[in-house]
Amino acid sequence: MPIGLIGPREATVEQLQAARTLGSALAGTGMAILCGGKGGVMEAAAFGAARAGGIVIGLLPEDDANEANAFLTVALPTGMGITRNALIARASLCLIAIGGGLGTLSEMALGLQWEKPVFTLLDAPQVSGAEVFEDVDALVTRVANWLVSADQPQVINPHV
């Protein structure tokens, strides 16, 4: 399963740099990234992962794959609009939010509802149950530790 990397299209320079760094770090571990496939944090993460030889899957809100950012490995046009946020949250092993607004908040809330770990950085929405980080290195370390820990669920309950 991929790691969901979520955040806004309109992002700060600091958020974009963090997304590039995270994309590269996750790709370096062999983890695939799932995102919304558009600009901003999504494009920056895809860029970082692509430079590191990683796989990035984008679930686009539109019907047209030409709307995807140029750094995706796979662009999947859903035609579902913001409803695709549920697909991103459900299909991800865990979620990492960098900044964000209501779209990011919806993905975080759904991830938590489905008992998935949610990690946040750089002004992501504050949600009870999400782990907040101040820097990329600490976040990468925590995600890596979670991925290899016994606490990681092996099967997601389909009835939640």
pLDDT tens string 11-61:
999 999 999 999 999 999 899 999 999 999 999 999 999 999 999 999 999
Summary mean pLDDT of the chain: 92
Residue 154 has pLDDT above 80, yes or no: no
Q: How confident is the model at residue 147 (pLDDT cuts 50, 70, 90)?
A: confident
pLDDT of 144 reads: 86
Are 118 and 108 a contacting pair, CB within 8 Å? yes
pTM exceeds cut of 0.85 = yes
Calpha distance 121→98 (Å, rounded): 5
Kindly give, in sequence order, each residue whose CB lies less than 8 Å from that of residue 117, ignoring residues fewer than 6 positions away. Answer: 94, 95, 111, 131, 146
> What domains does the chain contain, in order, with CATH numbers?
3-147 (3.40.50.450)
